Amino acid sequence: MTVHDTEIAIQAADRQDRPPFVQIDRVSKTYRKGKLAVPVLDRHSMIIAQGDMVALVGASGCGKTTLLNLIGGVDRPDTGEITVDKTRITSLSDAGLTEWRGQNVGFIFQFYNLLPALSAHANVELPLLLHDIPKAERRARVDNALNLVGLQDRASHRPEELSGGQQQRVAIARALVTDADLLLCDEPTGDLDQDSATRIMELLSMLNQEFGKTIVVVTHDPLVAEYAHRTEHLTRPETAA
């Protein structure tokens, strides 16, 4: 299936009726270092529907990664509220936010962030070790996640024994293994050649369409943005240097 199919256009129209999944309400963020203040987001509001796939685009430094980190509860806004699937994450305690993140969000990064000494299987298993899950169930879940990304035969390989595209598929399996409904991807194809990038985007599209994952992708690549149902353009606040 290609991104230009009529089928997908019909699904995009359907999505407008779906409930909001991520609600960003007048969120502001300024980084401070000594006397230097870097305003990045100024009362930014945005709604992402359940099952949506959104590309965040904009000039370098406009705040795409910052917004992704706020949605994923890695960082907190100075003001404003963020609600994800009825949980107001901006009201959670630090411990509550960490626990919420571990259960509800899968992160996918440009440079994969795999642990080099561990096999693909052990890398994918890592998020499950934070939860009280019996070993047999952990194994079943990891096998299932590696199967989904087509890497069941590479489970014992370490990252250096895998191509960039395969490493990113391991990272996607790691993001899936907790069954998180929200996948946050920061330049997921930025380190890959075009064929591998296409394969990664087709995998993310499949997870969106067949498994209902809500996906936010930060990208500079117009081809990647084409896989999204819609594109959100960020700009720096006018007060920014």
Ligand X SMILES: Nc1ncnc2c1ncn2[C@@H]1O[C@H](COP(=O)(O)OP(=O)(O)OP(=O)(O)O)[C@@H](O)[C@H]1O
Give me the residues that bind ligand X (CB under 6 A), please. 31, 33, 38, 40, 58, 60-66
Smallest distance, ligand X to C-beta of residue 48, A: 17
Q: Which tokens belong to 224?
A: 């990647």
Q: CA-CA distance, 93 to 8, in Å (whole number)?
A: 39
CB of 94 to ligand X, least distance (A): 17
Please identify, using beta-carbon distances, which residue of 101 and 154 lies nearer to ligand X: 101
Residues 217 and 227: their CA atoms lie apart, in Å, by 10
Would you say 33 or 135 has its CB closer to ligand X?
A: 33
Nearest-approach distance from CB 37 to ligand X, in angstroms: 9
47 CB burial (10 A radius; 0-12, 13-18, 19+) = middle
Which amino acid, residue 106? G
Minimum distance of ligand X from residue 113's CB (angstroms): 15
Q: Which is nearer to ligand X, 37 or 129 (CB)?
A: 37
Give me the least distance between CB of 9 and ligand X, in Å please. 29
C-beta closer to ligand X: residue 40 or 53: 40
Comparing C-alpha atoms, which of 36, 37, 59, 56 is closest to residue 46?
56
Contact predicate 161/119, CB 8 Å: no
CA–CA–CA angle 24, 28, 33 (5° rounding): 140
The residue (of 62 and 225) whose beta carbon lies closer to ligand X is 62
